[in-house]
Structure 1
Amino acid sequence: MSIRHAVLPAQVKRILLIKLRHHGDMLLTTPVINTLRQRYPESEIDVLLYKETEAILRYHPAISVIHAIDRSWKKQGIRYQLKQELALLKQIRSRHFDLVINLADQWRSAAISLLSGAPVRIGFGYQKRRSFIWRKAHTSLVSTANHGKLHTVEQNLSILAPLNIEITDSRASMHYCADDEASRQRLLAERGVTGDYIVIQPTSRWTYKCWDDAKMAQLLDALQPQGLTLILTAGPDKKERDMIAHIQSLCHNPQVISLAGELTLTQLAALIDRARLFIGVDSAPMHMAAALHTPCVALFGPTKLHHWRPWSDNSTVIWAGDFAELPRPDAIDTRTRQRYLDAIPVETVLDAARDYLAEAK
């Protein structure tokens, strides 16, 4: 399906980018946003996302307006939800977009694309969306035939093909504000941290993406001779905070502190940005470390590594599949309590960490 409208910089006053997924997914849209800013420097770029992921893009300098869908609307009844949906659509139509880029695969995103009134609406030609309605919602559809071979960043950037934009820089980016940096300094001062530190994120919302608590504690102890403060981070969920407490109970390194559940996402970004090293599992903070170009040791299990590895040359991936047989990613029961990363030896992670710390001296 070919694009029906010529798109020139002078004609594009406002652009809407749609992505309705998790925090890490949102961060990996930033190469598209950055490329659009470079190609259309005078345009206003808006983003439509889920409200809970807004912090990831809150301080991005290229974004004019963030439009948010609150998934709690439906909990307040169909009438309330409909009112909010209509208000959102009215807000979007009032922006008079010239170009909509729909990176999402939901029917809702297609409907919003169509009803936005934008003359140019680009989406992906998903196999599961082979219908007249999906085609009608977009003026151009980009093939996903080779997506299985591409990183998520590369998949996202491929949607720009109908615009004939040259991709000169595909780096992701994460931004935070001066208040976040001030909070970082205050929190570390309160805990007596004055020197360099390592940020370690052992937790994920999914247990199967986590490493063994005892092995993590062994790693913390083995890092003690480096003389650095080790800062454990996690989300505010009780399960994650309990996991951090258990890890702390197993280790003997006095240089370990916890900020689990105490940081906003942008405060966490400020913390990671100043770290000597980030060590963590497949999670949004891992993608943040990559976007901030902080040296990163990432532990992966049965997820699609080629899609979700850290998008940075300053990273090392340690895959559990190199040490044990893993199930296919699509066959994983995300509710399982099994930790497939347990096959990863402590010494392998420690060696990778030491290599980065030696380089930084």
Structure 2
Amino acid sequence: MKHPLPAEPRHIGVLRLSALGDVCNLVPTVRALQRQWPEARITWIIGKAEYSLLAGLTGVEFVVYDKAAGLAGMRELWRELAETRFDVLLHMQQALRASVLSLGLKADVRVGYDKARAKDAQHWFTQRHIAPHPRAHVLESFLDFARLLGVEDLSLDWQLPVPESAVAEAATLSGQAPYLLLSPCANPRLRNFRNWSAEGYAAVIEHAWSHHGLQALLTGGGSTAEREMGERIRRLCRPEAVVDAIGRSSLKGLLALIQGARAVVAPDSGPVHMANALGIPVVGLYATTNPDRAAPYQWRDYVVDRYPDAVRTYLHKEPEAIPWGQRVRHPDAMSLIHAEDVIAQLERLLAARQETETPDET
């Protein structure tokens, strides 16, 4: 017997801890739930960094879990929610840590991924599962939770909060000149292999400066690898063409910097999805991850896609023959992306933006 789903949920729990790009892709599902049931409470259990990005999201109560706190942090969170019972808990993280965390939460029914998409045996921790959706984009997978609950209006809406303090922070880094934002490095975790070359970025920067008068603003975290990448790029460029702001902004400040950019260029990482959420044009650089699953959703037509080539070159298979979402974990995969490919997509993107901004004189 299936556990019944609430027809009019009064309190919806959302369990999604990470990562920055994924939580941006989840926001339209939250907005869809709010449109369907404007009186319902929504409590989102989220990671620490992810909360700093989404803090202030209207109509959402956040409960923060810091994964660095481990089991002790879970126990603290369980105590915080000891008197809380959700009508439905949307378990939207396919990770064992999140599933263990879910065990201490009270819910009438727990909804998770279908067996094909569930990882780390997540389906054993849930009672209802979303319908199969082969080859779905991450954003569509999140919307499948709303579909299961009977939500009718699935139109995309973000309304990410960018406070004035973040705008002021961004202004100290960007100045007044129009700029192209580049976030050259993805998360520096082990065997990520999503970073493109300093030489490639320098060629794009030179083109943007010489052809469009766009200064390049480099952003990213404060890790040694990111700072070294920024320094390599800067040394390859004329000084007036680039500003190195790597490690100098908060996440809210990064949102504001993206909001002020003419366009964004970055690999598969948080900033491409942040730009997507803000409606800012973005050229995503994809070779190690499948853009059909993880591209910036509204700008998929402008991705530089070398994933099929990487699959054939380094996995020695056809893309159709590998599991959906499989990554190409090879350090040379991103070298399949050439500067002229990125420049061509950037030109298309800037032309499309100019066209939308030019008043119709007819």
Q: TM-score range by the shorter chain?
A: 0.7 to 0.9
Taking a change above 3 Å as real, the CA distance of residues 43 and 229 of structure 1, as seen in their structure-2 partners, is same
User: Could you say what secondary structure the match of 1:341 adopts?
Assistant: helix
Q: 1:108 Cα deviation (Å)?
A: 4.9
Q: Does 1:354 align with 2:341?
A: no
Of 127, 130, 154, 1:142 maps to: 130
Of 64, 71, 87, 2:76 maps to: 87
User: Could you say what secondary structure the match of 2:85 adopts?
Assistant: coil
Taking a change above 3 Å as real, the CA distance of residues 95 and 339 of structure 1, as seen in their structure-2 partners, is same
Across the aligned residues of Structure 1 and Structure 2, the Cα RMSD in angstroms comes to 2.6
Q: Does 1:202 align with 2:184?
A: yes
Query: Which residue is 1:161 aligned to?
Result: 147
Would the aligned equivalents of 2:89 and 2:107 in 1 still touch at CA under 8 Å? yes
**Could you tell me how far apart the structure 1 residues matched to 2:120 and 2:289 are?**
27
How many equivalent residue pairs? 339
Query: Which residue is 1:67 aligned to?
Result: 63
Q: When the two structures are superposed, what TM-score results if normalisation uses the length of structure 2?
A: 0.84
Would the aligned equivalents of 2:90 and 2:111 in 1 still touch at CA under 8 Å? yes
**Could you tell me how far apart the structure 2 residues matched to 1:258 and 1:90 are?**
44
Would the aligned equivalents of 1:286 and 1:298 in 2 still touch at CA under 8 Å? yes
Q: Give aligned-pair identity as a percent.
A: 22
Q: Does 1:4 align with 2:4?
A: yes
Query: Which residue is 1:120 aligned to?
Result: 109
**Could you tell me how far apart the structure 2 residues matched to 1:287 and 1:185 are?**
22
> After the TM superposition, which residues 103-114 of structure 1 pair with which residues of structure 2 at under 5 Å, given as runs?
103-110=92-99, 112-113=101-102
Would the aligned equivalents of 1:33 and 1:62 in 2 still touch at CA under 8 Å? no
Would the aligned equivalents of 1:233 and 1:259 in 2 still touch at CA under 8 Å? yes
Taking a change above 3 Å as real, the CA distance of residues 345 and 104 of structure 1, as seen in their structure-2 partners, is closer
Structure 2 spans left out of the alignment, 5+ residues: 316-324, 355-362
Give the residue type in structure 2 aligned to 1:91. Answer: E
**Could you tell me how far apart the structure 1 residues matched to 2:202 and 2:120 are?**
49
Of 51, 54, 64, 1:54 maps to: 51
Q: 1:171 Cα deviation (Å)?
A: 4.4
**Could you tell me how far apart the structure 1 residues matched to 2:300 and 2:333 are?**
25
Query: Which residue is 1:77 aligned to?
Result: none
Structure 1 spans left out of the alignment, 5+ residues: 75-80
Deviations, residues 91-138 of structure 1 (Å, cap 9, x unaligned): 22323322211112345544554543322322223356798x955x54
Q: Does 1:277 align with 2:273?
A: no
Q: 1:343 Cα deviation (Å)?
A: 2.1
**Could you tell me how far apart the structure 1 residues matched to 2:214 and 2:29 are?**
36
Of 17, 39, 43, 2:40 maps to: 43
Would the aligned equivalents of 2:286 and 2:304 in 1 still touch at CA under 8 Å? yes
Q: 1:296 Cα deviation (Å)?
A: 1.0
Q: 1:227 Cα deviation (Å)?
A: 1.2
Would the aligned equivalents of 2:185 and 2:195 in 1 still touch at CA under 8 Å? yes
Q: Does 1:18 align with 2:11?
A: no
**Could you tell me how far apart the structure 1 residues matched to 2:300 and 2:309 are?**
23
Give the residue type in structure 2 aligned to 1:118. Answer: A
Query: Which residue is 1:257 aligned to?
Result: 243
User: Could you say what secondary structure the match of 1:260 adopts?
Assistant: coil
Q: 1:341 Cα deviation (Å)?
A: 2.1
Give the residue type in structure 2 aligned to 1:224. Answer: W
**Could you tell me how far apart the structure 1 residues matched to 2:219 and 2:108 are?**
45
User: Could you say what secondary structure the match of 1:312 adopts?
Assistant: helix
**Could you tell me how far apart the structure 2 residues matched to 1:46 and 1:209 are?**
33
Taking a change above 3 Å as real, the CA distance of residues 2 and 166 of structure 1, as seen in their structure-2 partners, is farther
Query: Which residue is 1:101 aligned to?
Result: 90
Taking a change above 3 Å as real, the CA distance of residues 186 and 4 of structure 1, as seen in their structure-2 partners, is same
Of 203, 227, 230, 1:241 maps to: 227
Q: 1:265 Cα deviation (Å)?
A: 1.2
Would the aligned equivalents of 1:2 and 1:141 in 2 still touch at CA under 8 Å? no
Q: When the two structures are superposed, what TM-score results if normalisation uses the length of structure 1?
A: 0.84
**Could you tell me how far apart the structure 2 residues matched to 1:123 and 1:179 are?**
37
Query: Mean alpha-carbon deviation: is it higher for 259-268 or for 99-108?
Result: 99-108
> After the TM superposition, which residues 280-319 of structure 1 pair with which residues of structure 2 at under 5 Å, given as runs?
280-313=266-299, 316-319=302-305
User: Could you say what secondary structure the match of 1:55 adopts?
Assistant: helix
**Could you tell me how far apart the structure 2 residues matched to 1:315 and 1:286 are?**
13
